[in-house]
Structure 1
């Protein structure tokens, strides 16, 4: 199904290790991210590599003076599988070291990066590169060891970020010291700052059956709450007049204490202490996992840094509606016999609180960054959902390559004892099937990329999946009965011809495409066999749900072609809000770029 074919020899692990001993890891990661730049911008057609000989390609810089040469296969979905060891940088006939930053600068006009936006994009890009290139040797873990590691060790070892977006870890606003304290890859647990805020300025919402004050007692303990009460009483204030909420330490120092200094001076906001438990930042950076008591909830807080196309604040406007959306989704899918039967779970955002500034709220509109300064929500932990012998791993880990270039997915397969094809079959049943089911049964589209899905494994074998980030990521099609008032931001109306992008774009292009490249280039499963397995899995899924035949016909998963979404292009258009939650899905696609569906025409082709 590829557009061109050349023999990319999988490099044996021993040879990669030998290379690692002679080439610094810094150079290794310069090559690795240079490969991603060339691959993803070629996939988005911002670059048009010229084939110079079978399997060999070249891209010239905007000024024509530098040439980047490499070997590649073009796999399904215009997926450029580039041999990073083959990348050469040649200027005026002289070969120079591969420098990923110079590559961005050389190609900037072709990538659509103008002179005024280039410095800021480079700042995000350099921060992303440093995430892996500057990791201390003692923090580097081999894929084989990582396959047996615990949930949070895997989480903090991830360095790839979003599989499609190149500058995916900009953290604009963080200092170097902040990164060492609060970045997920640093793996340093920290305590949250707790404040009391006047009740009349707070928006509080919970799902049915959850009381906010009871939740805080469970999360903090009666002793800590008593200490917070004492702080208020000692300052002459009545605890009954306040709500307690957490803030990220950086947000407290850099935003709340500055913008809300008058609120603090006048007692509308009162700092009362720190969390007794320690938390570790997750890949999504503003979500924290409780490392002291893992069964307690995740805490997600406002964090006004620019990271991967968004300023990561959170508003009271969203906090008011997020638990209501979660509650409605839960009421819709809870107890579904199919989802229950395959062990699929969602972890819900059960409570949220947001502070409304009496200074900034009256003069701003919803969506303003000045409304996104002090808010928090609680999401269920996946730990209580584990059965005997089960362990957790972010799905993003399936794309992880260690410092030797060995893929973690290969180590998972090895640990499971399964053949690679059988491992993939089981994985697709845990991931692809429930995501497709939610779209076709309930008309719910999520954002099921690697970081938003947690795999439940048994000895490295995929057993089931847990979906998170419900309230902010869900898109609800149509006008469903009983949908909560005031939550229209989650509703979407899309034409039939693009509803299937919830699988074809969000799953196929955004995650399975890069996974296919890892499997193919490391000799685990060829690209052609991989998409045969996906086609087989989809047909198995369709056959199991004959009552959804009309929906399958309307939103065809085997459609010959589908429209591409250019993730890097969206980020370059606006790095602080690459996607507006109120935009239709149709507004995000590039109508002029149609991708050939890799499962079209494959039904019945797979090996038995």
Structure 2
């Protein structure tokens, strides 16, 4: 598989962005790759190759587009009367918006602004990284590595359109670490469910109050909503706690290594498809969902595979704005001597990644599949649990040689249960998350580093050894379901309303 490094566009494309040419060009390249992935998957039609580049037809505007590379397409050019014309990121956004207007008959002013915001966020992150050393801990380094982020989303790094100074101190991609803010919520206002005792270990609340940690950005965003509660004493400031806490790839979820606990907060910011608020209906469903997943993995014949969302605490007068969810840390769940790594980080690449140093791609990949696939299929087939097993919800632990020995999944909010959703819909979601979003990306990253390596026979063997009724049809199907994030966002569909289009299935023999 061809490997294409991210390269800046020509210098004369850079000046419009207002940052230095090197940063501007690299930011354009990082932001263009996932946007092009969306455009090529959801809209364009391949027509051939020219000069070693892939050429596509854009049917809406009846134009030709060509790009370099495959997994991370780069250097987009559009055909004009004068020949091929190179597009910077702003030009690509304009092209995509025009194409979608033709295709859908709809206008959308918000999404192009998010695409531009995503690109400018990358520029700010690159500048911040240039003056900050990457973290020494490989797990943290994997979580905070995602400059590209979601590989098939038009604006994966958008941060709500505000100035970078408002969000950069809390950005995982800038290697942020900061203490949580501690609030006291008056006891008669506190609402909680499940095991929230880990919160009380973070500090001490005064008499009549309960401890309620908050994300500093969360408090900035909700300042107007909470002003009255601070004024009348329902809330009090108690300083900060847990220095060294750092944000995971999810931005709003923090890991407190000193307490070995994850804390997930509400943020009124759109990140990828959704406003990242802890919605009341999701919190109220949390105990049922997490209990179902935990019960499934209690019977799983293998290492622990679930980081449970054990409970939440909030204040009734600001139920969603102040909610904090408590997630299991690693504790005794992690195999002795193993190092957890974020699967999305393996796909993107980071210093010290085992993908960069393995000399046995077949053995490494077989071990990876043996860790990542069985827990997901077990939960579905035996317990009707549909894990959202995509790259950002999967941690793969490796041994001292970098070989995968365990997979851990997280995020009860994204879990679906049968028969709340029909089995067919649950299976489609599982295949998209596990195979299309997850395994396809790791397979491509591995094949990119090892010329001639075919990762798909091992995937077929791993899937075929599981007694799940849907697997024979999956292995024989000509297509796989791929989520249409670009069209979903352009048409204003709900972020949870997945829509799929068929992709060629590499699992099928002979493909």
Q: Which has the larger radius of gyration?
A: 1
| Residue aligning to 1:232 | none
Q: CA deviation at 1:502?
A: 3.7
Root-mean-square deviation over aligned CA pairs:
3.5
Q: Whole-Å Cα distance in 1 between the matches of residues 415 and 370 of structure 2?
A: 21
Equivalent position to 1:289, from 241, 255, 259 = 255
| Residue aligning to 2:509 | 601
Is 1:578–2:495 an aligned residue pair?
A: yes
The structure-2 alpha-carbon separation of the partners of 1:189 and 1:56, relative to structure 1 and needing over 3 Å to count, comes to: closer
Is 1:500–2:467 an aligned residue pair?
A: no
TM-score normalized by the length of structure 1: 0.72
| Residue aligning to 2:450 | 523
Is 1:244–2:211 an aligned residue pair?
A: yes
Equivalent position to 2:462, from 537, 540, 551 = 537
Q: Whole-Å Cα distance in 1 between the matches of residues 353 and 49 of structure 2?
A: 33
Is 1:314–2:278 an aligned residue pair?
A: yes
The structure-2 alpha-carbon separation of the partners of 1:514 and 1:276, relative to structure 1 and needing over 3 Å to count, comes to: closer
Q: Whole-Å Cα distance in 2 between the matches of residues 562 and 10 of structure 1?
A: 24
Q: Whole-Å Cα distance in 2 between the matches of residues 525 and 70 of structure 1?
A: 22
Equivalent position to 2:385, from 444, 448, 470 = 444
| Residue aligning to 1:268 | 234
Equivalent position to 1:167, from 142, 155, 161 = 155
| Residue aligning to 2:183 | 195
Contact kept, 8 Å, 2:416 with 2:426, in 1: the verdict is no
| Residue aligning to 1:76 | none
Structure 1, 377-386 or 279-288: larger mean CA deviation: 377-386
| Residue aligning to 1:34 | 32
| Residue aligning to 1:137 | 130
Give matches, 1:53-452, under 5 Å: 53=50, 56-59=53-56, 68-71=65-68, 80-81=70-71, 84=74, 87-88=76-77, 93=82, 98-112=87-101, 114=107, 116-130=109-123, 133-137=126-130, 139=132, 149-172=137-160, 174-206=162-194, 210=195, 212=196, 214-217=197-200, 219-220=201-202, 224-225=203-204, 228-229=205-206, 239-240=207-208, 242-255=209-222, 257-291=223-257, 293=258, 295-334=259-298, 336-338=299-301, 341=302, 343-357=303-317, 372-382=320-330, 384-401=332-349, 408=353, 410-414=355-359, 419-452=360-393
Secondary structure, counterpart of 1:157 in structure 2: coil
Contact kept, 8 Å, 2:7 with 2:25, in 1: the verdict is no
Contact kept, 8 Å, 1:131 with 1:185, in 2: the verdict is no
Q: Whole-Å Cα distance in 2 between the matches of residues 500 and 95 of structure 1?
A: 43
Contact kept, 8 Å, 1:51 with 1:58, in 2: the verdict is yes
The structure-2 alpha-carbon separation of the partners of 1:9 and 1:561, relative to structure 1 and needing over 3 Å to count, comes to: closer
Contact kept, 8 Å, 1:319 with 1:353, in 2: the verdict is no
Q: Whole-Å Cα distance in 2 between the matches of residues 299 and 572 of structure 1?
A: 32
Q: CA deviation at 1:248?
A: 1.2
Q: Whole-Å Cα distance in 2 between the matches of residues 446 and 131 of structure 1?
A: 34
Q: Whole-Å Cα distance in 1 between the matches of residues 260 and 129 of structure 2?
A: 31
Contact kept, 8 Å, 1:317 with 1:354, in 2: the verdict is no
Contact kept, 8 Å, 1:34 with 1:100, in 2: the verdict is yes
| Residue aligning to 1:489 | none
Q: Whole-Å Cα distance in 1 between the matches of residues 7 and 231 of structure 2?
A: 59
The structure-2 alpha-carbon separation of the partners of 1:30 and 1:278, relative to structure 1 and needing over 3 Å to count, comes to: same
Q: Whole-Å Cα distance in 2 between the matches of residues 54 and 432 of structure 1?
A: 39
Contact kept, 8 Å, 1:66 with 1:90, in 2: the verdict is yes
The structure-2 alpha-carbon separation of the partners of 1:89 and 1:38, relative to structure 1 and needing over 3 Å to count, comes to: same
Name stretches of at least 5 consecutive residues in structure 2 with no aligned partner.
Answer: 11-20
Secondary structure, counterpart of 2:243 in structure 1: coil
Contact kept, 8 Å, 1:316 with 1:353, in 2: the verdict is no
| Residue aligning to 2:402 | 460
Q: Whole-Å Cα distance in 2 between the matches of residues 190 and 388 of structure 1?
A: 28
Q: CA deviation at 1:321?
A: 3.7
Q: CA deviation at 1:33?
A: 3.7
| Residue aligning to 2:22 | 24
Q: Whole-Å Cα distance in 2 between the matches of residues 196 and 82 of structure 1?
A: 47
Q: Whole-Å Cα distance in 2 between the matches of residues 82 and 152 of structure 1?
A: 24
